[in-house]
A and B are shown apart, each in its own frame.
Chain A
């Protein structure tokens, strides 16, 4: 179980997202599989994000002391119960800040799908810029929008962690 998971994670984390997008969008059609631009974008971001999330959860699991499982087992809980009621709630708490980072990473990564012509923020601002030749103004506005979105998520995520989840260590 561990070896295929490691291979999956290591490959997807060490190959640029852009190359993954190109493989799906330009590479797969030559093998007879054609996906739309939007499907490719979603698939590439999913593959990339899932690999990073795997690492986040692996790290989180490693941070839970073994004694937690042992104690729960000795209390007579079944394996399924131990996982659902003891491990996962703690895992969520431990990984909560990292999950927020993952959301931010996803927003930043989503800019990349503009290269295959999906109309998201970066692509739209590029098109407007090339029509009006006012790249500076357009890119500053687009940058400001990303900045606001990312900072907002950071703040809200930290605030939510402090308010709703006990024992979250926020930054």
Chain B
């Protein structure tokens, strides 16, 4: 359940993050403004409160039935999307201006310059930070247990309620251990991808993860 929830949130969040991040980096103010508001809002409110909002407030507001799974996926996707958008924006911003100028000089139009010149470079720059966001999303999926969704953390706590004698310390340490391994696998995949995509002569492959968890909105 943790994996399913995290995977869904990562897919939706990444998609939303790329769209919003590009809008945020746009030259047009009517694209930039809503993106800035979206990022600023969802990065400044705790994910737990967003989760509560999705699960308790949305059904009352729209008179619809929001199951736990849907509420958790929605809240995590939006949250992940806001952080991804910042990653995308800074990665695109990290590509030197000269690259665009060079592309223009070669006769590429703005769309071509972006697709063939800027984006491939931004993608490589953004990987370590994106891995950080993915690990964060994995960890924050544990919060879905608070609205009663039985994922890894929820199950760990439920074991204790069913059988108080089973030694919840050990069970919960095990839960922590599983998260640790999953986070480690994500980081490892990120490193592999980084090495795989590395272009000889362009920058160096960083051996250590660079992780910025919260950056100023």
Contact = CB atoms under 8 A, between A and B. Distances in A.
A50 interface: no
Interface residues of B, number: 47
A69 interface: no
Given A27-B173, A143-B53, A147-B44, A136 B60 contact: yes
A26 B180 contact: no
The 3 closest A-B pairs by CB, nearest first: A111-B46, A27-B169, A14-B183
Interface in B113-140: 135, 139-140
Nearest to A171: B216
B157 interface: yes
Interface string B60-90: 1100000000000000000000000000000
A72 interface: no
Interface stretch (A16-24, A34-42, A73-81, A85-93): A16-24
B109 interface: no
Contact of A105 (B52, B143, B145, B214): B214
A57 interface: no
9 contacts: A16-B153, A23-B172, A27-B172, A101-B214, A101-B215, A108-B45, A125-B52, A146-B45, A147-B41
A14 B184 contact: yes
A115 B146 contact: yes
Contact of B48 (A23, A27, A28, A112): A112
A150 B217 contact: yes
Contacts, number: 149
Contacts of A150: 43-44, 217
B131 to A, nearest CB: 12
B179 interface: yes
A20 B176 contact: yes
Chain B interface mostly: helix
B180 A11 contact: yes
B47 interface: yes
B216 A158 contact: yes
Contact of B168 (A30, A102, A105, A171): A30
Contacts of A82: none
Interface of B: 40-41, 43-50, 52-53, 56-57, 60-61, 135, 139-140, 142-143, 145-146, 153, 156-157, 160, 167-173, 175-176, 179-180, 183-184, 211-217
Given A14-B180, A26-B157, A102-B214, A122 B172 contact: no
A139 B52 contact: yes
A55 interface: yes
Given A23-B176, A135-B57, A135-B60, A14 B168 contact: no
Contacts of B53: 135-136, 139-140, 143
Interface string A28-59: 10110000000000000000000010010000
B107 to A, nearest CB: 35
A16 B142 contact: yes
A104 B213 CA distance: 10
B74 to A, nearest CB: 14
Nearest to A52: B213
Contacts of A171: 216
Interface string A3-23: 000000011011111111011
B45 A143 contact: yes
Given A16-B142, A136-B60, A142-B49, A101 B212 contact: yes
B213 A139 contact: no
